[in-house]
Chains A and B, each alone.
Chain A
């Protein structure tokens, strides 16, 4: 019969010799292996103090972005909600009133924007769907909580702080 790979090894099934049956040599060998592990790199880290770097494609909590003047980019077009396979995003649109040009970049904005983090699967389709570069997935891991309500992230939780306002403070 033709061999599939060259990795097949003939197993030695001859009865054990006296030195093998005394176990001592194999125990010494085993001790050598375990002692060797003293010098090996630890696989675990002491977590909260020491964090492992995420992979470059890691997708964590969402943020809603602002433009360079500090105005909200989101126009409540609903494409992210449409793209979302888990149906985690809901929003309500509103029209910009005169005098609110500093707050919202375009004539339409999201009055209400909610992501249910218990539904969200962090696929990142919303980020890909957004035509206005408004929603991004960050490198933050979602924190745990006690109530279901706290996992519904409102617009205030998602929106990044206004850089202009921070400068004026």
Chain B
């Protein structure tokens, strides 16, 4: 229902109740001018509002009533029971119409001509006739005022009709008086006309017998509607509710305090009454909470209009669907999310949904769909804003983020798509090509995120290329009382809001959940995912009394999509706490959101999960993203051969076997120190030695295992302590390391393992490695050749793309065929396309076959990457689709094949 209309209904119903009461009072004491003025004012307001809202029927009736009241006020008429009854009846009729309005959102058909006429007559001072009628019928009285032009005659033409709602088409029914006529009548009708009116009224009386009955029926039907409308809501000052809430909060606190005391005292006789008090308090809390609850639809009401206007402004067709409008949440929260929601819906209209022609081209219905959904989940409410647009432009976001320094190129290489999408929440990142009248000024999603985090909520997004974007907001139902987990760290207790706690894990030295250390960073292996750990005491800067106790508690927290484990010394229970804001002096501490008084009377601080998450991510550099990676693992069962070895510390390390040229054992006696570098003679040339973790003196161990990496005749030896094993497993680099030389961590053979970055060690040995790589090839490649690399395996992309770049190519790596098609659409051009054969969204063969037919890209040579090699292509019968095929593990032949293909292709062209 329209905002305005609803407010009007509530207000008017209340006013009418007042008028009812006041009129009765007035009748008893006709000289009470104050009461009369009050009534007049109320009726006048109703009339005015009706006019404003375009409710002619109500307006006409109220106007007639007002005229009569005006006569009383001006002392032109003396009120008598009959006329007062008449007014009361007109008010009843107003209520009937209001009831219909409330139920149907429109005025009922029909007219109040007779009643208006009666009121007019009464105000003309023609009392006798009306009085008679009143006495006779006692309910709805209708008098027909026939005006000068005789356009109204008494009506008995529709005797059989069941109600007034018969004939809307006809502009004026018999017996109906047009408003203009009435107005004229009011103007002209003065003393002289009284007699005429009276006679006419009497005529009318005879004719309205049947209609009277119908009117009675109608009224009976509608009174129920009206009653419910009036009794359903009362209006209470917000302050009263706030006060109530505060008091209930205090009561909850006191109750908690009492419960705690009784718990300590053991069995006492106050236990039973206290239990009763406790449950009553809980119910009271519920009840008061309810008074603050409002359906979320209230915050959505303006959205249809906004969507309509936005759609018009950007020339798109947009349909808005809303689901779960009746989901209730605290009005304070409601107010706070209203603006972010509006902003996000505008964003969807403006950027999320593509223009109609593009949609049609993409086989989507022309009208874009925006869906709002709200539902309860645990102690919070989840709101989803989904559009079926193009999804977030990953590459654009990436570029923008690199440009404005949010991330580095290196970060961008290793970030998953989802992580890149989340960059839209970073400040100053609007990817809109141009600023439109609606949005795109660069202050956007970061403000939205801040607003939502301020109320203890979280926001996340999922964008699927070509299918749309869904934002998910999770907010607490209420801000005043939250459920919190009480934990202990460094001898102090803290409260952590339950909203962000996923689970509790108890770690043991040799049990199922063990804390492992990777480069001074502690991680917890939890069901095959690596969870970064952070010590609450560390975050709070409290010196630790003892070093890492092996038996700690880990509170697994989830803020947005960021998951981490918060190490605490002890976990107590959960308690309902009343959040009290911190004093101003303390409000700048980001890791606390407030404080509260516990049951035992002590004050404890409430930890702000968002604040903690921020300090975690500054420590971790990049968010570790569990879900996305898990998904990758599920659909991509491709295994990689990894060489496991030990070096520089206890954590096992790994390197893709394909990158290792040879495994050697060298005699430490043959190591020569030249110019600060350690060299060893290897196959008739000098090979520099490097160590994991940097240059270090190699101990005199006699024999030292060395991994040899060779690229174009130059070798480098990586000194390791021990070669452990070669495993063939699904490689799932889960956590990006911040240490140079480490790509990230993965679970291999059930252990957290660091995956090293070979490129780092190559450059360490030969500072000019990459420059040389280009120089060597300058003859063959006069200008940078552009390669499009399509592979769904992020690790492989990250491995191959830098290699190709090092070889002097300009590499664009994408994770799916769909992304490649996007580049195609945007007019990008390449010299060679290297594509994986197995991909989830579109197989490499299908992709290549499509490529061969594409008008822009058909002439670009296509190279297939496969684990098996030529046999694969033959097996698939797709020898024609690809120009050539390279084995995935064979990077040397990859580059030479690319070179070869480019060369022959260049000659052919």
Tell whether A and B belong to one assembly. Answer: no
Interface residues, chain A, with chain B CB atoms under 8 Å away: none
